[in-house]
Amino acid sequence: MLVVTATASRLFRGYVQDGDREKAAVYAQLLGRYYAGKGSWEGLSDFLAQISPAVDTSVAQMAFAAPAENHGQSGVLAVGTDRIVVADATGLVIADTAGLVTGSQHPARHLDKGLPVSLPGTDPGATQGAAHSIAQSAEPVGRVLVGSMVDSALSDRAEAFLRDSVAALAAAAIAPALAAIALGLLLADRLSRSTARLATASAKVAAGDFAALVEPEGPDEFKALTVSFNTMARDLERLENSRRRLIADSAHELRTPVTLLKGGLEAMLDGVYPRSDEAIRSLLEETSRLSRLIDSLRELELIDSGKLPIEIAQFDPAGIVAETGALFSAIARERGLQLEIFLGPPPGEVSGPERTSAVPALCRADPQRTGQALRILLDNACKYVPENGLVRVSLRTGLPQVRLAILVEDSGGGVPEADRETIFERFVRLDAARISGEPGQGLGLPIAREIARAQGGDLYCLRSETLGGAAFWLELPGAQS
């Protein structure tokens, strides 16, 4: 409001001063002609008193010797309402329509605000002597000040106009401001209520109530924030459920070997079982099982926390396939299985869109972790494939999207389609695995998949097209050429 008032007052005063200068220019011409006709300022006060808004048109034409666009007639018609002060060449005030400073010596700094009164030339009606003396004078014969040049205060009429203008401007400025404030308060109220709901939901989630979701509403940015919050709450719920299940399953899996160890040791101490090498060997196997379970749990913890050591390097996966195959060849023979290792598609196999080349290619992954995942797959195959069965490992290179894969397939019963994702969940063992009686905790496949994904690859369970059993497709990123 103060800025509006100050700006309006400054602009209006400037407008008034510009108008007074235009009027002063009219008066300077009138007074110049008056002095030229009289030869002096005698009778000036009576002349100024006679000027009125109804000044004759002939006087107006005389006053506007300059082009009409510079001094409109409106200026002449208004001259009679202004205060006029005229000083002679020495600075002595010789006329003041207000009668306040007549006869005083006006300061030069004040007179400088006015306009000089110059002679327009000789008047034909003047005497020869007077005309001669006037023509000799090139200096201004006086100065004239009009309105705001004399007094900086505005007239009552101008002050009223300024007040009305400021009021109108203030109303024009305040109305949008009030509307903006009202809209701002409304928006703030909506945001405040939405924020309060989000804060309440956050407190519930922090307390473990992951079902405390928030309905997206309000501005688009707040809706996006709400959607992100709901996604976070669902992820936390899933992680919490996984954590609880992991703890419960771990406790269940750990209970069996611990119970066996405790019972066996107590039985030997009580003399129920003899302290033989066979009994000790059996307890040692349980400790090995317990140790493997603990190692697997530790590895899963590293995977979940993102701290699993992965050292990416460029290497030929054919070496990993050959080395791992040689490692399991004796185990396969011992179990009555046939193990085939191919560093490309098996001979005679029809090439599909996923296998376009038998030429070995380099991959970019962690060779140690890749070998670990392959050992898990081969270990499962050797455990659960019936005797006289076939296990085949083949390397598939030249795949689309610059990838390659290691395929482990067998002639066993396979994995039902409904369970091909379930088997990658932790502590999940299919009925066939339980019936076989082979030891296991259901952690191998989850670890193998997480290892593959940590390297930028993946692990899928399929049905073997050629052997009829399970097929595990270990996909790895190929090296960029």
Q: How far apart are CA 427 and CA 424, in angstroms?
A: 9
- Identify the pLDDT of residue 103: 82
**Residue 368: which domain range?**
313-477
Q: List, for residues 50-93, the tens digit of each pLDDT value.
A: 764 433 333 344 444 444 344 433 433 344 467 888 988 888 88
Residue 458's DSSP bridge partners are 475
Residues 27 and 62 in one domain: yes
Q: Where a domain ends, among 308, 337, 365?
A: 308
The CATH number linked to 292 is 1.10.287.130
Encode the chain (481 residues) as per-residue pLDDT tens digits: 566 566 666 666 667 777 778 888 888 888 888 888 888 888 888 888 776 443 333 334 444 444 434 443 343 334 446 788 898 888 888 888 877 888 888 777 778 888 898 887 544 444 444 434 444 445 888 998 887 777 765 555 656 666 666 677 667 767 787 888 887 777 777 777 778 877 888 888 888 887 888 888 767 777 888 888 888 888 888 777 767 776 776 676 677 678 877 887 888 888 777 778 887 887 787 787 778 778 777 877 777 777 788 889 999 899 999 999 998 998 899 999 999 999 888 876 644 444 444 444 788 899 999 999 999 999 989 988 988 999 999 988 767 666 789 999 999 888 888 888 888 887 776 655 444 445 556 788 988 999 999 898 999 999 988 888 999 999 998 876 4
Residues 102 and 224 in one domain: no
Burial class of 199 by CB neighbour count within 10 A (0 to 12, 13 to 18, 19+): exposed
Residue type at 68 in one-letter notation? A
Residues 255 and 334 in one domain: no
Token readout for 164 is: 């009305």
Q: Where a domain ends, among 274, 308, 342?
A: 308
pTM: 0.50
Q: Comparing C-alpha atoms, which of 114, 117, 116 is closest to residue 149? A: 114
Residues 183 and 285 in one domain: yes
> Do residues 89 and 141 touch, judged by C-beta distance below 8 A?
yes
Residues 233 and 148 in one domain: no
Residues 338 and 206 in one domain: no
Residues 470 and 374 in one domain: yes
The CATH number linked to 448 is 3.30.565.10
| Alpha-carbon separation of residue 82 from 21, 29, 146, 154 (angstroms) | 12, 16, 7, 11
Q: Where a domain ends, among 269, 292, 308?
A: 308
Residues 141 and 36 in one domain: yes
Residues 292 and 419 in one domain: no
CA-based angle 203:204:209, to the nearest 5? 150
Number of domains the chain contains: 3
Residues 319 and 460 in one domain: yes
Q: How far apart are CA 378 and CA 328, in angstroms?
A: 7
- Identify the pLDDT of residue 136: 42
- Identify the pLDDT of residue 186: 76
Residues 186 and 57 in one domain: no
Residues 137 and 27 in one domain: yes
Q: Comparing C-alpha atoms, which of 94, 110, 107 is closest to residue 31? A: 94
